[in-house]
Each structure stands twice: as structure tokens, then as C-alpha cells.
Amino acid sequence: METKYLERFKRLDDRRELFKLNGGRVLIEVMPKQEVKTAGGIVLSAPTNYAKGATFESQTGTLGVVLLTGEGYVDASGATYDIGLKPGNVVLINELGMRTLSVFPGLSEYSAGSIAIVDETVVQMSWPDLEAFDAYAKLLS
């Protein structure tokens, strides 16, 4: 698995005065869905997003790489809470928690739907980086 946008967004990390990602929001690069093989060897096409009548339980998981994180949460008493993710983390989220973007400002060769905004609370699982995710996947196969 490799990312198209991570290195570009890392250049923004020390230029936070140029933009603001609010609260507990996380900008992710959506990774392409993998084909699935049945035990009999039949290749199933990658599932589509937002199937008609889909429920939270029937949606497939989506992998993404964190590009940017918001400032964190502020509760009613004014206490602040940092986001537990950082750029480069790999995350597993449910499709219903994801809002993909059809265009992205500043990226002239952007592919529609390849960047999404999610709330940190919809992240189901995370890995420190792409190498850790690849090692995890290799151990399971």
C-alpha cells in the first residue's frame, strides 16, 4: 500500500497558520479497496460505497492514511483533549463515518473521493504507519 498525498501534506505541518482543521476532525487519504477472494477462488469486486439501504452494520471498512489532524476537543468546562492520531497513521473506519471530497483546494491532479474528512471518534483501529500495517497484514495472511 502506498500513498499519493502524504509527503505533500507533511510540508504543511509547520505552517499551521495557513489553515485550520476544526476540532476532532481528521483529513485522510482513502486507500483503494482490495479485491476479495472466496475460499473457492472466486474474485469478488471491491465493495461500493454507500450501497442503497445500507446500515452501519452492513458497511465495509475503509482504510486511510492520516494527512492532517484538527486541534482536538474542548469540553463544556473548557478542558482540551488532543487527537490521538498523527500524519502517517493508518486508520480503519466505517464508510458511514466518512465524507469524501470531490475536489480538494491546491491539488490540481486530485482524484475525486481520494481524500475524506472523518471525526476521530469513527476510527475503529489504527496502526503507527504504512510499514506497521503491512507487517500486520503479512502476519494475518
Tell whether 85 is covered by a domain: yes
Residue 35 pLDDT: 61
3-state secondary structure 33-102: CCCEECCCCCEECCCCCCCCCCCHHHCCEEEEEEEEECCCEECCCCCEECCCCCCCCEEEEEHHHEEECC
Low-confidence ranges of the chain (pLDDT < 70): 34-39, 41, 43-60
Task: Establish if 99 belongs to a structural domain.
Answer: yes
Distance of CA 102 to the CA centre of its chain: 15
Domain membership flag for residue 41: yes
pLDDT of residue 57: 53
15-44: pLDDT as tens digits: 888 888 888 899 999 998 766 666 676 765
Within-domain flag for 1: no
Q: For residue 119, give the DSSP letter.
A: E
Q: Is residue 123 part of a domain?
A: yes
Structural domain contains residue 23: yes
- For the chain, how many structural domains are there in total? 1
Say what the pLDDT of residue 133 is: 92
pLDDT confidence of residue 88: 95
Domain enclosing residue 16, as ranges: 6-140
| Residue 69 placed within a domain | yes
Could you tell me if residue 116 is inside a domain? yes
35: domain CATH number is: 2.30.33.40
